[in-house]
């Protein structure tokens, strides 16, 4: 997403958000939307079955190096999302992004700045960013 489209999206959210203008309402909707993303992913596994989870302890050898670890470590997901599940997950992620943008609006934070800061941090920290 380009900086211009992030800015346009944030402006659009500001215009559309009527019912949940309170910071507390937005915080609760942000939590709900995050839970809805989790739920729809779980349904892809448990109801549809288009993807499966095969979770187990990750075997990581510290001597092998970080690049080799990226190849060895598993995401535990097997299969691919069907169109219905992909559409449902995309919709919930969009709703989550909507409320994140609303939170940014309420706190006078530019969503573009959030993305740029996180991207810069990822570039600087590389593999150590989220560990």
- pLDDT the model gives residue 128: 60
The answer to whether residues 102 and 13 touch, using CB atoms and an 8 Å cutoff, is yes
What's phi and psi for 51, nearest 5 deg? -125, 155
Regions in the chain scoring below 70 on pLDDT: 1-3, 18-20, 60-72, 74, 125-131
DSSP 46: I
The answer to whether residues 78 and 51 touch, using CB atoms and an 8 Å cutoff, is yes
- Which domains does the chain show, CATH number per domain? 3-126 (1.10.287.1080)
**Facing residues of 51 across strands?**
79
- pLDDT the model gives residue 71: 65
Give the CB-side neighbour count of residue 47, counting CA atoms within 13 A: 8
Tokens of 29: 């909707």
């Amino acid at each position: 997403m380009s900086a211009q489209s992030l800015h346009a999206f944030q402006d659009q959210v500001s215009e559309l958000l009527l019912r949940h203008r309170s910071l507390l309402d937005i915080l609760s909707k942000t939590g709900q939307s995050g839970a809805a993303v989790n739920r729809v992913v779980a349904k892809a596994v448990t109801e549809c079955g288009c993807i499966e989870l095969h979770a187990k302890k990750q075997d990581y050898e510290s001597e092998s190096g970080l690049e080799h670890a990226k190849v060895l470590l598993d995401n535990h997901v097997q299969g691919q999302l069907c169109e219905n599940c992909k559409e449902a997950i995309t919709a919930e992620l969009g709703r989550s992004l909507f409320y994140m943008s609303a939170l940014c609006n309420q706190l006078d934070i530019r969503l573009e700045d959030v993305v740029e800061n996180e991207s810069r941090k990822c570039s600087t920290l590389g593999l150590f960013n989220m560990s």
